[in-house]
Structure 1
């Protein structure tokens, strides 16, 4: 018979994956960096560590604070929308002038600080991360009582597995992205996703 801790961790693993395995700004950036093989370990680490921190905060009760101070969510919505629209503009510009990917080049053209900053911003400036990870996941974890921290362990492991698979698995698609047209499509899709998410954030303000 499985122990309560194992069952809670398994539930957290599945629930965590259900929240992050979706087309979004963060996943799109991880995929792009994986294809370029630029600071992939750093990108995966920032995403996974950020998720772990947010999961722990959610289980620890930060969701209750957000309920008491909804204006914090509004501030995050505006900041996130501005950042996403800015990144969408850059992606659209890359789509307008795509370049082929040199599959033999494993160097990193983008500075490490820029990659870390962008990855962190795509994670921490997205209000949906707080609503999903902190509020929703924290609430579901609470239903497991004393085993809620094992639920958090499972959810954290799910994040690590997903981002590692996405970042390092992306290189399997590198032959496809040796053509400029493939990058044009990818960056166009990234721009569309970023704009769509930004509009969703702003619409949430108007609906309040």
Structure 2
């Protein structure tokens, strides 16, 4: 009886600790406003109400990312503009572009630090819906990282969380234990990038899986 009571008490303590971490710890560590978080976003071309942002999708040969210019609503703070950029990156792209983000992936939260880092908390679909290839994982990770660091240069590094938890990797290939800087070597020549409203030729191939 005493042994069973001890097990129940241990489970109760673990549950309380887990709840504290999810609802109190993470917000305190990552979500405390900083001067950068509340500052007005810079580095994006704007016409007042909208800003020009570069998002990243899979090239027609499946071997690179390609930048795509989109008009996004201008937000009053750096944090809210970063959230707007990530939400646009997660959304379905214009046809016939292919998204590097697994369908159904949602943004749970985005937190900035005074070190110029962003913590992006994504839903579990980013892992569960992933195809699993190493190249595809690179595309998924750096579409998010590049979308933030290219459009908001005051944010210099991005760490991806899943359901509020740090993860080693999405599907086994890209180390996510620390914030990552942008990687434009995965991106095709920007002179070849289409822009919103431009007629896009149909894709001739599907992404190639590289394990």
Range into which the TM-score falls when normalised by the shorter chain: under 0.3
- Normalized per residue, which structure has more strand? 2
Per the normalisation by structure 1, the TM-score is: 0.24
Q: Which has the higher helix share?
A: 1
Q: 1 or 2 for the larger relative contact order (CA 8 Å, sep ≥6)?
A: 1
